[in-house]
Amino acid sequence: MSINSFGHLYRFTTWGESHGPALGATVDGCPPGVPLQEAMIQQWMDKRRPGLNKNTTQRNEPDAVKILSGVFEGKTTGTPIQLMIENTDQRSKDYGDIANTFRPGHADITYHQKYGIRDYRGGGRSSARETAARVAAGGVAREAIKAIAPNVQIKGYMTQMGAKQIDRSRMDWDQIDQNDFFCPDAEAAKEWNDYLAWLRKDDHNSVGAIIEVVARGVPAGIGAPVYGKLDTDLAAAMMSINAVKGVEIGEGMAAAALTGRENADEIFMGNDGQPAYSSNHAGGILGGISTGQDIVVRFAVKPTSSILSPRKSIRMDGTPTEVTTKGRHDPCVGIRAVPVGEAMMACVILDHLLLDRGQTGGVRGKIG
Ligand SMILES: Cc1cc2nc3c(=O)[nH]c(=O)nc-3n(C[C@H](O)[C@H](O)[C@H](O)COP(=O)(O)O)c2cc1C
């Protein structure tokens, strides 16, 4: 299975399966001299960790990250950083029934068609356990960003669960970490809580979600035109996350319904002597290059495929069957996808900060 790596200069390779002994990421290209300790990465792992509350999967993994290389006396050395997370709460027997069956909505059928062999325990390599390794690589990226562009802040949150959207007039970044849903609207979080409890317990069903990830304080000028666009890499980063079916930058798909007068963000000189914009329909990127505004990416995740309701499928021998998924699952994968989206944003922003050094050597056009 080729292509397990992501990024240009800041590049990570993930390895491991859901029910193997461990999984992790090998990070290549982190600059030397960045202060790095396991606890700095662990804080982000703890946001994604399963079993945190009743609204996520009950698989109970501590997701303790170990740094095996690339750090000496608390600082990165510039050599590959090996990050390892042990799997401790596998229940492979839950998956015995699906060894010869394809679960609808899962990668069982395509892995079999392509490779002719698969580790079916917990979905093997297709499991979202893989995203733990990305969050670890993102934790390293955050520390390296601090050293290069200390004003950058990266924050993700859910804006929609099923058909239930947040009310943007009630949006409050301080609320995001106060509820189970990383929801910036406290009222919506309460409603989602009741809805998801009913969906999980009574309806034996699941639901999709939309996650927004914002990078604030990114300097103008990172990214590149044509094939090196910042938005190209962000779209690839988010689309590579399990269950993601749509990615938007700024106004995204809704831009199609706007007129040119409504959509083009007007430019004026701000009080700080820097260009400012009347709005941010562009999502902080013009021509593939950051404007200095918030970079805004949104992605949609599909509803969890593993549900307690029977779904029609086939066995490997082609005979029909029904699958009712046992095992422990997220009723809405959008919740734990929030820290994963943040991690991917951090990796792309760091990658482009590093690329920018080589692309321009610090040259900038003067305004004002
Ligand atoms: C953080 C996260 C957690 C997930 N948890 C589950 C889960 O518990 N059960 C499930 O059926 N799918 C879950 N998924 C989605 C599956 O991994 C994914 O749908 C499956 O591997 C097929 O890949 P695809 O949807 O990208 O095509 C999760 C996804 C993410 C991002």
Tokens 């990796």 — which residue?
A: 347
At 160-200, the pLDDT tens digits run: 999 999 999 999 999 999 999 999 999 999 999 999 999 99
In three-state secondary structure terms, 220 is coil
State whether the Cα torsion 317-321-326-330 is positive or negative: positive
pLDDT at residue 89, as a whole number: 80
Question: DSSP secondary-structure letter at 265?
Answer: P
CA 287 vs. chain centroid, Å, equals 24
- Residue whose CA is closest, atom 19 of ligand 1? 243
Answer yes or no: are the C-beta atoms of 64 and 105 closer than 8 Å.
Answer: no
pTM above 0.85, yes or no: yes
Residue spans of the domains in the chain: they are 5-360
Instruction: Please count the other Cβ atoms lying within 10 Å of the Cβ belonging to residue 242.
Output: 17
Of 103, 118, 304, 329, the residue with max ligand 1 atoms within 8 A of its CB, to mutate for a pocket test, comes to 304
* In the predicted structure, residue 346 carries a pLDDT above the cut 70: yes
Answer yes or no: are the C-beta atoms of 285 and 223 closer than 8 Å.
Answer: yes
In three-state secondary structure terms, 66 is strand
* In the predicted structure, residue 307 carries a pLDDT above the cut 70: yes
At 150, list the tokens. 């200390």
- 242: Cβ below 6 Å to ligand 1? yes
At 21-79, the pLDDT tens digits run: 999 999 999 999 999 999 999 999 999 987 778 888 877 889 999 999 999 999 999 99
Most confident of 115-129, 175-189, 315-329: 175-189
**Separation between Cα atoms, residue 295 and residue 297, nearest integer Å:** 7
The Å distance, Cα 117 to ligand 1 centre, comes to: 20
- 214: Cβ below 6 Å to ligand 1? no
- Give the number of the atom of ligand 1 that is nearest the alpha carbon of residue 106: 22
According to CATH, what is the number of the domain 5-360?
3.60.150.10
pLDDT at residue 92, as a whole number: 66
pLDDT at residue 341, as a whole number: 98
- 155: Cβ below 6 Å to ligand 1? no
Beta strands in 79-220 (DSSP E): 81-86, 153-161, 164-165, 209-216
Average pLDDT, the chain: 95
pLDDT at residue 208, as a whole number: 98
* In the predicted structure, residue 327 carries a pLDDT above the cut 70: no
Closest CA to 76 of 4, 151, 146, 24: 146
* In the predicted structure, residue 85 carries a pLDDT above the cut 70: yes
- Give the number of the atom of ligand 1 that is nearest the alpha carbon of residue 325: 11
Closest CA to 303 of 291, 293, 311, 315: 311
